[in-house]
Structure formats: C-alpha cells, structure tokens
C-alpha cells in the first residue's frame, strides 16, 4: 500500500511539474512582488529606517523570503481549484490510485516551485548587498525552517483550493498572509510599534520565524525563537493537514 502511494504520488507529481515548466510565468510572477518590495524598501525606505543593522537588506531578507512563500502558495490553491472544476479529481478517483496522492502531488509541486522562487530572491538579495557569515549548518537550518513554513502554508492553501466557489476566492486567501509580515519584526524592530500593535507582532508566528532566520544568518544566538518558530510551523502544518484532509474527503464523497 505504501509503495502504491509513493508510486502514484511520483507519477502525479511529474504531471504537476510539467504544468509548472509549461507556465514558467507562474514562478516569475511569484518572485516579482517580493523582489520589487525588497528593492523598494532597501533603496527608498532603507535609509530612513533604523534597525540597528549595518545593512538593511540583511535585516529585511528573512521577511521577504516569507512573503515569497505566501505569494507562491496562492497558485497551489488556484491549481487545485482548476483541477476540481475540470473534473480531474473525479477521473482519478475512478482509477486504482491512492486517494491522497493527488493532494500530495500538488503540495510537493508547491514546495519545488517555492524553493526555486526562494533561490531567485536570495540571489537578487546577494546582488544588492546581502551578506551572511553563516556556515553550512546555519544555512541548512534556515532551509529547514523555510521548507516547514512552505509545507504549512501549502496545506493551508489546499483548503480554499478544494472549497472555493471561484478562482478569485481560491487565491484571495493568501493576501492576509502576504501582509502579515508587515505586522511583525520583518521590516522594523517591534519595540518601535505602539503597545497593542507590538503585542500582536510579538506573539504572531512571523516574528518568531523571522527572528530565528535572522539570527541564523548573522550567527547570533537563536535562543528560544527557533523553538517557537518550529512550534508554529509544525502546529500550523498539523492543523492545516487535518482540515485539508477532512475537506478533501467531504468534497470527493
């Protein structure tokens, strides 16, 4: 049964990845927004923002990476919605394949596409001055956090992808996720914010994740931030997966 699941998922993953390669504009579109945002903040607002860092792009990049992921997962919801409306799910359900393999193929496609986008954004950041003294273990830790965050948001995207009534509705849920970093430590230290805003910023997931990635990049002690970040990522992942599978079973039943 396990072999059957992995084989079916690999086959369907190949199908989804071929769709991505045929529409490379999807990845281009998901990288344009965070890159434009990064350039604007570095070259327009960076000189007026005091973060205590020598280079604003070094301070900014972790938040931009999370925005990149939030932009990318909207397409996962849209692709799922289009498959639902085209009848692909019904056709596959009539075949002897593992029921959840189609969902996993979409999730893994999202992971691959988002990793490509993250690499592109990081390369642009290096071109405009981002530098990190971090060694390989720290970079691997950052990659692990970003992969967990991508999986968590992707399973979250599965829910509207399966249940939305329109294509616009399928992708629109990502907008609050894109703007959530603005109410965190991604762009400015939270101690510059008014009391209620700071209270929210200090206790939402993006701040812990951004702080952990920033400390890893700068080789600073990560303290409890990394454990809080991992707890948020795993918690969102588990809850989103449970609700996504429930929505999937209800939709195809």
What's the rounded Cα separation, in Å, for the pair 108 and 140? Answer: 19
Tell me the per-residue pLDDT of 149-196, one tens digit each, with 9 for 90 and over.
Answer: 999 999 998 888 888 788 777 777 778 888 899 999 999 899 889 989
Both tokens assigned to 86: 């085209």
Residues in CB range of 189: below 8 A, 6 or more apart: 51, 52
pLDDT of residue 80: 82
What's the rounded Cα separation, in Å, for the pair 102 and 97? Answer: 9
Both tokens assigned to 10: 């690999």
Side-chain half-sphere exposure of 24, counting CA atoms within 13 A: 2
Tell me the per-residue pLDDT of 105-161, one tens digit each, with 9 for 90 and over.
Answer: 888 888 988 998 999 999 999 999 999 999 999 999 999 999 999 999 999 988 888
Output the CA–CA distances (angstroms, integers) from residue 26 to 21, 34, 64, 154, 207, in the order listed. 9, 14, 18, 16, 28
Both tokens assigned to 49: 């923002």
């Amino acid at each position: 049964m396990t072999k059957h699941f992995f084989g079916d998922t690999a086959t369907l993953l190949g199908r989804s990845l071929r769709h991505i390669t045929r529409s490379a504009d999807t990845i281009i579109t998901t990288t344009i927004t965070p890159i434009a945002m990064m350039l604007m903040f570095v070259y327009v607002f960076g000189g007026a923002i005091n973060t205590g860092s020598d280079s604003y792009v070094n301070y900014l990049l972790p938040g931009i990476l999370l925005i990149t992921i939030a932009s990318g997962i909207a397409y996962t919801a849209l692709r799922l919605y289009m498959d639902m409306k085209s009848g692909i799910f019904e056709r596959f359900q009539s075949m002897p394949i593992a029921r959840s393999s189609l969902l996993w193929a979409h999730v893994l496609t999202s992971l691959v596409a988002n990793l490509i986008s993250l690499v592109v954004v990081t390369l642009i950041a290096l071109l405009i001055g981002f530098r990190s003294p971090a060694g390989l273990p720290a970079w691997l830790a950052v990659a692990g956090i970003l992969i967990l965050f991508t999986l968590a948001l992707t399973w979250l995207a599965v829910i509207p992808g399966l249940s939305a009534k329109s294509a616009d509705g399928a992708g629109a849920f990502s907008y609050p996720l894109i703007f959530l970093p603005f109410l965190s430590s991604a762009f400015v230290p939270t101690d510059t914010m008014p009391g209620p805003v700071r209270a929210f910023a200090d206790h939402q997931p993006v701040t812990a994740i951004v702080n952990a990635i920033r400390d890893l990049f700068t080789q600073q002690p990560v303290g409890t931030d990394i454990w809080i970040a991992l707890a948020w990522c795993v918690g969102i992942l588990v809850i989103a997966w449970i609700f996504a599978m429930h929505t999937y079973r209800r939709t195809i039943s």
